[in-house]
């Protein structure tokens, strides 16, 4: 089974790149399942229903969120009826929506997707390790799920690495999101779980993590806000990770960074 995960979609530039490039990637590489983190897709903060539908129409099977999950007010209502939209599983009890979902892919594969939020340098949240462990215990890899992907939306690289080792041998992929900068450490751990510390963003990298550079630089220099942050709208790079899994175990047998378009060097699977 072949799965594609794309990191944080950043504003209009990211959405446009998804719409233009994702269908071709699915066809070229035969991806059976696509997951996209969409928590910055709407003006850099949150995800409107219209933009959710735009990402789904482009080929996303599941869309995950993060610390900006409810920055767009309409998310509170439509997340309840959209089973393929996930917010962090370790949000407090009673939060609208769901943090894990078993979804049938385009070729009939059963894929469990879990979205979790880190706690280091982030706003308070429940324990992401135990919450994720409970989600996968209810849907074991190789028994119920053909593949399990964990989107760990976290700031600290150490916390993401820890999650990878904690889940090694029990999930297909642990991938970090949130920092918007792709890491070069994609690999398969000893137990067969693929790990990438951060998938990067789908956005304009001629920026400061997706925002036009002037205002972030001003705030670094002066500490005084002058204007609002504005998403950069140059050509976007699609950034993420692709994996291939064993048909029987669901564990990873191949992993590759994915980078297409924009100013970053291209990386694509070799299969």
Strand partners for 37: 64
Domain ranges of the chain: 2-260
Residue keyed to tokens 């769901």: 98
Per-residue pLDDT tens over the stretch 123-177: 999 999 999 999 999 899 999 999 999 999 999 999 999 999 999 999 999 999 9
- Cβ atoms of 218 and 246 within 8 Å: the answer is no
Per-residue pLDDT tens over the stretch 82-105: 999 999 999 999 999 999 999 999
- pLDDT on residue 106: 87
Residue-wise DSSP of 147-185: EEEEEEE-S-HHHHHHHHHHHTTT-SEEEEESS----S-
- pLDDT on residue 197: 98
| C-alpha distances out from residue 115 to 65, 96, 118, 194, 224, Å | 7, 14, 10, 16, 34
CA gap 241, 239 in Å, rounded = 7
Provide the 3-class DSSP secondary structure of residue 221.
Answer: helix
The pTM of the full predicted model, rounded to 2 decimals, is 0.97
Q: What integer best gives the mean pLDDT of the chain?
A: 97
- Cβ atoms of 213 and 43 within 8 Å: the answer is no
Q: Is the dihedral of CA 119, 123, 126, 132 positive or negative?
A: negative
What amino acid positions are annotated as catalytic residues?
A: 68
pLDDT confidence tier of residue 271, bands split at 50, 70 and 90: confident
The superfamily CATH assigns to domain 2-260 is Metallo-dependent phosphatases (3.60.21.10)
């Amino acid at each position: 089974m072949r799965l594609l995960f794309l990191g944080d979609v950043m504003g209009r530039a990211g959405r446009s790149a998804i719409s233009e490039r994702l269908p071709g990637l699915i066809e070229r590489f035969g991806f059976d399942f696509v997951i996209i983190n969409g928590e910055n897709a709407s003006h850099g903060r949150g995800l409107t229903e219209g933009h959710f539908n735009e990402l789904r129409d482009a080929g996303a099977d599941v869309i995950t969120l993060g610390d900006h999950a409810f920055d767009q007010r309409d998310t509170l209502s439509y997340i309840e009826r959209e089973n393929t939209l996930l917010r962090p599983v370790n949000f407090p009890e009673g939060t609208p929506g769901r943090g894990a979902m078993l979804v049938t892919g385009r070729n009939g594969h059963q894929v469990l997707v879990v979205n979790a939020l880190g706690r280091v340098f982030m706003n308070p949240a429940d324990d992401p390790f135990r919450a994720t462990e409970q989600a996968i215990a209810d849907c074991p890899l190789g028994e119920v799920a053909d593949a399990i992907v964990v989107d760990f939306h976290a700031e600290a690289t150490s916390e993401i690495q820890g999650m990878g080792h904690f889940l090694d041998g029990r999930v297909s992929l642990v991938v970090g999101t949130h920092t918007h900068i792709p890491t070069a450490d994609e690999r398969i751990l000893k137990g067969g779980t693929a790990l990438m510390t951060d998938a990067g963003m789908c956005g304009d990298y001629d920026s400061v993590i997706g925002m036009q550079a002037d205002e972030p630089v001003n705030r670094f220099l002066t500490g005084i806000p002058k204007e609002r942050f504005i998403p950069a709208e140059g050509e976007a790079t699609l950034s993420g990770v692709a994996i291939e899994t064993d048909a029987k175990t669901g564990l990873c047998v191949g992993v590759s960074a994915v980078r297409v378009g924009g100013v970053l060097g291209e990386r694509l699977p070799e299969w």
